[in-house]
Amino acid sequence: MALFKRVVPLPEAIAVIRGALETIDGPPLPLDLEELSASLSRRASAMSAAAANPSPQAMIDAFPEPAALIEPGCRFLAANSALDDLLAVRTVGRTVLQATRSDKLSEFTSRALTGCADRCEVTLPAQDNKIVGAMAAPLPGGRALLVLRDLTAQKRAEAVRGDFIANASHELRTPVSAISGAAETLLGMEADDNARPFLEMIARQAARLSRLTSDLLDLSRMESGQWPVELGSQNAVAVCESALQFVKERADAKGIHLGADVPERLKVCCDARALEQILVNLLDNAIKYTPENGRVTLLADAAGPHVMISVLDTGPGVEVRHQRRIFERFYRVDRGRARADGGSGLGLAIVKHLAQVQGGEVGVESGRGGSRFWLKLPSAP
């Protein structure tokens, strides 16, 4: 204060300090300089305490996504405006169930309050059936952090795309089988030698188109839940034998030795039809990409709480840079070769989807000596 008295006239000093203080939120400033100084130091210490220990509301306001702090009783303790906007309700003080009318989101958040971090997708009846992705994580003091993301537009776009693919492939099936049938009939007749190569080409391409449309239809049905899986305890040997039987003719035609080693009493928790489809796709690829007179082997064994099933081949292998991507739709290592082999480019995408809906995982390990495609599924008692 002495410095101010000497250098700056007192009223101007007060004006400068008031100007600075007015930029800080709080009650109106006192006129008296002594009180002003005391008020200044009180606010300064309140501000440093707040910076060291921010309020729940200040913390949640710092989140860029819709977020809230949940307290015991599954009640909103603090929420940022993005979350209130998403739910179109003032949430603080309400329970998750009162704000959303979603039992699923309420139970999910309660689990986070008891210490389980998790993610889920949920439809909110009180918010025009908005679809949200929720992430909840436990916090010290029995609280939880809830972060939501609006997925409605993305899900609707996916549903429209899925319907379009399903309808288009369904519509294509009839003309494709008519072309295929006509080409086969003409080939069975005494076609002249000039026409035969063209007829063979039509029959080959129609068969390819037919496989593509049926794989597309299968995949879109799976993704839209119209291909529901029924999980139950299945005998691994029975499913493996049926898949091997399905591909045997193709293996024989290429002189490929088809082997298997599956323990008699191995039980796997799966949908038998879905597991058979996975194995047929993996075995079919192994036979397709392995040169003549090679080996394809199906192995299965218990691995802790899981069953590990592998398809090994002596083919060209898959380079590390392609290994993660070959499970994407239409991703092919060698486009020309895969097309010539008649593949749809969807076989591994179907495998991955079916493994995931049965609570499993798939992967590949590969080197110069061949590939090992593996599938991990829960074992059954």
Q: What is the nearest approach in angstroms of ligand ADP to the Cβ of residue 275? A: 17
β-pairing verdict for 295-303 and 257-261: parallel
Residue 24 to residues 47, 221, 283, 308: CA-CA distances in angstroms? Answer: 10, 60, 71, 64
How many Cβ atoms from other residues are within 10 Å of residue 274's Cβ? 25
Tell me how far apart the alpha carbons of residues 264 and 235 are, in angstroms, rounded to a whole number.
8
Tell me how far apart the alpha carbons of residues 201 and 329 are, in angstroms, rounded to a whole number.
26
Q: What is the nearest approach in angstroms of ligand ADP to the Cβ of residue 295? A: 12
Q: What is the nearest approach in angstroms of ligand ADP to the Cβ of residue 82? A: 40
Put residue 3 in one of left, alpha, beta given phi > 0 → left and psi -120 to 50 → alpha: alpha
Structure token digits, residue 46: 């309140």
Structure token digits, residue 230: 């029924």
Q: What is the nearest approach in angstroms of ligand ADP to the Cβ of residue 345? A: 4
Nearer to ligand ADP by Cβ, of 95 and 323: the residue is 323
Helix (H, G, I), strand (E, B) or coil at 146: strand
225 burial type by CB count under 10 A (0-12 exposed, 13-18 middle, 19+ buried): exposed
Q: What is the nearest approach in angstroms of ligand ADP to the Cβ of residue 285? A: 3
- Which single residue brings its beta carbon nearest to ligand ADP? 343
Q: What is the nearest approach in angstroms of ligand ADP to the Cβ of residue 146? A: 38
Nearer to ligand ADP by Cβ, of 150 and 276: the residue is 276
Q: What is the nearest approach in angstroms of ligand ADP to the Cβ of residue 78? A: 48
Nearer to ligand ADP by Cβ, of 267 and 332: the residue is 332
Name the residues that contact ligand ADP, by CB under 6 A.
285-286, 289, 313, 315-316, 318, 326, 332-334, 338, 343-349, 371
How many Cβ atoms from other residues are within 10 Å of residue 53's Cβ? 8
Q: What is the nearest approach in angstroms of ligand ADP to the Cβ of residue 131? A: 29
Task: With CA atoms as reference, report the closest residue to 142 among 208, 72, 202.
Answer: 72
176 burial type by CB count under 10 A (0-12 exposed, 13-18 middle, 19+ buried): buried
Residue 53 to residues 56, 57, 71: CA-CA distances in angstroms? Answer: 9, 12, 18
Task: With CA atoms as reference, report the closest residue to 291 among 340, 251, 345.
Answer: 251
Nearer to ligand ADP by Cβ, of 32 and 341: the residue is 341
Nearer to ligand ADP by Cβ, of 131 and 333: the residue is 333
Nearer to ligand ADP by Cβ, of 107 and 328: the residue is 328
Nearer to ligand ADP by Cβ, of 297 and 344: the residue is 344
Nearer to ligand ADP by Cβ, of 111 and 221: the residue is 221
